[in-house]
Structure 1
Amino acid sequence: MFLVTVTYTAPLDEVDRWRPAHGDWLSDLISRRLLLVAGRQVPLVGGVYLAPRMPAEELDHLLATDPYVLNGVATHAVVEFTPLLVATGLEDLKLQE
């Protein structure tokens, strides 16, 4: 599983220009379960995604298609982790062996 942080590299008015396309991109990935969670950081300096287990190269390819990245207004940082403890109802997030 991956935790992805998004950091804006441009002023918010420039980021906002690409927000509709970015929202469509997120909705598509979530509908295909390639992302599980997406949200804004507080304060609004970027965002956070939770992505399921997949080859790291596949995630890198997906993130490279983000309209924010394609238009130079944000960068991503990725942390891979193995969920060991989860809240009741979220057991499917744990690594299945």
Structure 2
Amino acid sequence: MLFRLRRLLKSTGRELAVLWYACRHPGTPLAIKLGALALAVYFFSPLDFVPDGLPILGWIDDVTLLAVLIPALTKLVPQTVLSSAHDGADRLFSKKLFRRNRS
């Protein structure tokens, strides 16, 4: 499960953070919040179109779905909410937790 989450953050990273902050904003339409919830349920659900037991194919369907639907949902967010969500994502990624250690 942790490996899947790490892969998700690497492949979608910033867009996922923007969608997260947008979903937490009260100005985001309910349809977008429900779409993001459905996407999260599908990703963490053991039931997939292609089972994860098939090493590469099982992951490709998850990553493809995320790579297509996260930007699609983000484009539907109202501009005022989106700018606030980008600010939240910028603050998140500027924290030391996400920076590489250069020592």
TM category (shorter chain) comes to 0.3 to 0.5
The structure richer in helix per residue is 2
The structure richer in strand per residue is 1
Calculate the TM-score normalised by the size of structure 1.
0.35
Calculate the TM-score normalised by the size of structure 2.
0.34
